Amino acid sequence: MLVSTIIEGTHHQRFFTSHLPRLTNVIDGEDAVCSFYGKLTEKILEE
């Protein structure tokens, strides 16, 4: 369940950054999507 949620969420965020940039905080040269989901996964697995 966690894996599918991360994959689906990542795909949605990538779509939004490409097609609806006002919904996201995109910073050139920074991969905030991977950073966010990496931290999310670490926190979930710590519990």
Q: Which pLDDT value is given to residue 42?
A: 94
Give me the percent of the chain exceeding a pLDDT of 70.
Answer: 98
Q: Which pLDDT value is given to residue 1?
A: 87
13 Cβ partners below 8 Å, 6+ apart?
24, 33, 36
The Cα 10–Cα 28 span in angstroms is 17
Band of the pLDDT at 4, cuts 50, 70, 90?
very high
pTM of the model: 0.67
pLDDT in tens, 13-30: 889 888 887 877 777 777
37 Cβ partners below 8 Å, 6+ apart?
6, 9, 10
Q: Which pLDDT value is given to residue 17?
A: 84
24 Cβ partners below 8 Å, 6+ apart?
13, 16, 17
